[in-house]
Amino acid sequence: MKNLPDFEAIDKEFSYSGSLGTVYSSESTVFNVWSPVADRVEVRLYESARSELPFSQLEMSKNRGVWSTEVRGDLHGVFYTYLVTVGNETRETIDIYAKAAGANGIRGMVVDLSRTNPTGWEKSSPVLLESYTDAVIYELHVRDFSSDESGNFKHRGKFIAFAEKDVTNQNGDKIGLDYIAELGATHIHLLPVFDFQTVDETDPNAGFNWGYDPLNFNIPEGSYSTDPNDGVCRIREFKELILAAHKKGIGIIMDVVYNHTFDTENSPFNKTFPHYYYRHNKDGSLSNGSGCGNEFASERSMAGKFIKDSLCYLAREYKLDGFRFDLMGLLDIETLNRCAEELRKINPSIILYGEGWTGGTCPIDEGLRGVKKNAVKLPQFAMFSDDFRDGVKGSVFNDMDCGFVNGNSSHYIKELIKSTVSAGIYRDDVDRSTDKCWTDKPQQCVNYVEAHDNLTLYDKLKCSMGGKSEEMVIAADKMAAALIFLSQGIPFMQAGQEFLRSKGFVHDSYNSPDSVNSLKWNDVSLHRKVVDYYKGLIAIRKRFSCFRMRTAEEIKSRISYEESGGGLAVHIDDFVLVLNPSERVIFCEIKGRAEVYANGEKASEMPLYIAESMVEVNPRSIILIRLL
């Protein structure tokens, strides 16, 4: 059993609300680090990221837990570390508040952030939204975007590949950022782009990783820059990515992982203040609700402050449009709400959402954490709907399990689809045995069937629909897409979902090679009809606000359901969406005439044709009509 300090008492006595890290000016730099238990703290200054020895080592003075010193002169480009002594042990560490670093994040770098701005940065601004439900989110990994040879990118796997213009695949079709803009995505969700630990930034041939292994939260990942030893380079090139997206009217959402760090004992947090930043069980052992060896103790005053400070810095400096929180169920509600309040002061349109679950048990009372069942306590946060995901395609934990589009016609699944089409809002006309109602407004529900983890939708359908034709698998895929974009809530998709992306049936490709993870851009040409179908559905959603309702009251009063020839008819104002999950054609009578906007083959924001008296819905497909 560890003899841990009384962290509550430390918080009461030593909590600090001021600036930490470096405060730079051309005349001097002030260094501030919080470590009330330290007996001595020094700052070491290095000429470069690779210098063997510091050129200066200065003692810092302590004031109520904060160690500080001021160094005269312009220190832009100077690298630094802290030497922290606690008891008989002295350890060197990067500043947990560092904004720049050299290769592999070993040393921080003092940076004049004005020198990191690319040309035109001052004109860049976040994307404005009236509501989260106006967003169409496209999840993407930086390296996946440009690593495959099917795209003629010059800077494969790098931030600045996003800024390249007129990029095509081997068939001459448009790809890259231009393609994403034309598809209709409003936001790109980037998998972790902070400085993570498991990729050697000095090795051009280093292995792949998703990046859910945090090292330095406020510094962009060096392996995505053209020069990881240059602290300015990675910042400028990440800003170039954001600038390029903003010019296309696309927002950038950053995937953040504040629930754990990759290392524990040797992490910068533990070197700065042993044990403080990590959550423990009653016996003193580390809690492991992340499944990664530790949990960040967000409920402690200065740990919560770090999360808030980090988010606000990133939002302000990088003009970010949103944050996606990994395992948000491990973060405390009070900290999350405080962060949301501060972030909205910076960007009123910022999108905040996350995983409303954990990777294991957590010692903090569930009622105090950001889990899905507490969504109403987190009014500014959306959460992924695993009910939608599993209801549409079947459980992600069983490859053969089926959902609504691939063969499960049970009463439970049909009732679940009714609930999820209404964004998880409580409805009297949904069988309470499903009881999957967890939101009180549609802005809190992220609808998805595919993300970076688990099988891609196409791979899942191939597994669960064994023996079915490729035509039938594609029909099920398009039906799933219709549910994503025509349901209430926030639509979310993984990059490449629209061209039947496969990862060769690899479940969690976090460290699989580029051959598995990369976007195969030639598939845009191969599956152009499916791409156009997704594009058409997105256009329909954007044109008609009834698919983007703002309140629970609207959803309850303007949406109704009825069984229709074995399918499900969803009435949305003067629209009717008929879902046919069966393997036979169904016919639906209509009164008078109707405009058809989508069927099993095409989708468009303009009517495809006019139907009279009857509509035909092909197997595993939909039809969307507007009554005249």
Helix, strand or coil, per DSSP, at residue 607: coil
Catalytic residue among 326, 415, 450, 498: 326
The string over 544-557, giving b where at least 16 C-beta atoms fall within 10 Å of a residue's C-beta and e elsewhere, is bebbbbbebebbbe
326 in catalytic set: yes
Q: Which residues contact 408 (CB under 8 A, 6 or more apart)?
A: 394, 401, 402
Angle, CA 448 vertex, CA 624 and CA 220 arms, to 5°: 135
Asked if residues 479 and 521 have their Cβ atoms less than 8 Å apart, the reply is no
Residue 70 known to be catalytic: no
137-140/490-494 β-pairing: parallel
Of the candidates 42, 201, 332, 355, the residue annotated as catalytic is 355
Question: In this structure, are strands 66-72 and 61-63 parallel, antiparallel, or unpaired?
Answer: antiparallel
Residue 162 has which token pair? 């996003």
Helix/strand/coil for 617:
strand
Residue 273 · residue 35 · CB < 8 Å: yes
Amino acid at the residue 121: W
DSSP class per residue in 93-150:
E--TT-S-BSGGG-SEE---GGGGPPTTGGG--PPP-S-GGG--EEEE-HHHHH-STT
Q: Are 391 and 416 in contact (CB under 8 A)?
A: yes
75 CB neighbour count, 10 Å cutoff? 21
| Cα 342 from chain centroid (whole Å) | 20
User: Rounded to an integer, what distance in angstroms lies between the CA atom of residue 503 and that of residue 372?
Assistant: 29
- Measured CA distances, 181 to 163, 175, 248 (Å): 13, 10, 6
Q: How far apart are CA 29 and CA 97, in angstroms?
A: 14
CA-CA distance, 354 to 319, in Å (whole number)? Answer: 20
Buried b (16+ CB within 10 A) or exposed e, 160-189: bbbbbeebbbeeeeebbbebbbebbbbbbb
Angle CA 450–454–457, to nearest 5: 35
Which position has the token pair 């895929």? 477
From CA 190, how far away is CA 251, in angstroms rounded? 10
CA 178 to chain centre: 21
Work out the burial of residue 284: count CB atoms within 10 Å of its CB; fewer than 13 is exposed, 13-18 middle, 19 or more buried: exposed
CB 445 within 8 A of CB 489: yes
Q: Which residues pair with 196 in a beta bridge?
A: 214
- Asked if residues 518 and 144 have their Cβ atoms less than 8 Å apart, the reply is yes
Q: Alpha carbon 174 to chain centroid distance?
A: 25
Q: Are 66 and 253 in contact (CB under 8 A)?
A: no
Name the residues annotated as catalytic: 326, 355
